Amino acid sequence: MGYLYALLGSLLFGANGSLAKLLVDGGLTATQLTLFRSLGTMVLAGLVLLVTDRAAFRLAPRQVLVMAVLGVAGVALVQASYAAALSYLPVGVTLLLQYTAVLMVALFAFLVFKERVKARLWAAIGLVLLGLAAVARPWEARLDPAGVALAAVAAVTLAFYFLVGERQVGRTSPLAVAFWTMLFASAFWALFSGWWELDATTFTTPLDVGGQWRSWELPLGIPLLVTVVFGSFLAFLLSFTALKHLSATAAGIVASAEVVFAFAVAWVWLGETLDPVGLAGATVVLAGILLAQSARQAKTVVDAELVLLPDRDVGGRP
């Protein structure tokens, strides 16, 4: 089930890329869109928790601190560094560099958490990165140093998301993690998104659906609601739920399917295509994910607070 949750989350994240592109072209800035996605996820998760698990609103101060760090460093900064890298690098190259996080996660789990990483997972990581390289073809792009540095930040923060997120869903519910992390991510983006510059009429502005449905128009608020519910709330919830069942290494490998799904949706919806080399690369990525699924193993959970707050006891445990 963990692999299914991760794959469905990747599908929603990948599909959201095309929708986000339309919303930004329609009048929202990337940071404003990110704020709405974070804020909407927090509100939806909070409403569900009000009905199902009010105890999730009462966390120990130390766990709130970990959630704050995860929300800012593991969610907000991933989005910020990725968006900034796109201004210097092509999308494919940025995604390739960002998903080197998969290798970082495996190395950190092996060297620091002393987890046993099966040989098949190392091979799966190699296939995923090889496939992403075939899709992105970085050798054909001009690699701006600033863009590479920003994409590297995105990779490190994405690795942090998987490693610390895995530990947090082991202590509370994925829904609670989604609420708390998005609370702090929303607070971050509220400071930098320029939401106060938006006019109320922006949400009623007709938006061209694009692609083969170019003749269709919807008020911008409708696709914005869709991206909040499906591309954010459900996508993050599935991602965190996957981390409850999978190791961060396995979840990270499956998450790379987002790239394949993003290209597939752009092909069906917007008419963007991959050449034979790109299609072969996408196939190799999927092969890596299938190989990772065949290496299922029980995961070892290490408390994130012992990593972030190593000088203090957590819950009486050494």
Residue 176 has a pLDDT of 92
Q: What DSSP character marks residue 252?
A: H
Place of tokens 């799966």: 124
Residue 99 has a pLDDT of 87
Residue 178 has a pLDDT of 92
Q: How many residues does the chain have?
A: 318
How many Cβ atoms sit within 10 Å of the Cβ of residue 14? 22
Residue 305 has a pLDDT of 47
CA-to-CA separations, 114 to 51, 106, 293, 296, 308, in angstroms, rounded = 39, 10, 21, 17, 17
| Residue 272: exposure state from Cβ atoms within 10 A (0-12, 13-18, ≥19) | middle
3-class secondary structure for 82-117? HHHHHCCCCHHHHHHHHCCHHHHHHHHHHHCCCCCC
Residue 221 has a pLDDT of 87
State in Å, rounded, how far the first CA of the chain is from the last one: 32
Selection from 261, 262, 264, 268 nearest residue 211 by Cα: 268
Phi first, then psi, for residue 274 (nearest 5°) are -105, 145
Cα-atom radius of gyration of the chain, to the nearest Å?
A: 19
Residue 309 has a pLDDT of 44
Report angle CA 139, 142, 146 to the nearest 5 degrees. Answer: 120
**Average pLDDT by stretches of 10, the chain with 318 residues:** 88 81 80 90 94 89 92 89 81 83 86 79 87 80 86 91 86 90 93 85 78 70 91 91 87 84 74 74 85 62 45 34
Q: What is the DSSP string of 178-207?
A: HHHHHHHHHHHHHHHS-GGG--GGGGGSEE
Distance, in Å, from the CA atom of 292 to the CA atom of 297, rounded to the nearest integer, reads: 10
Residue 315 has a pLDDT of 36
Q: What is the pTM of this model?
A: 0.81
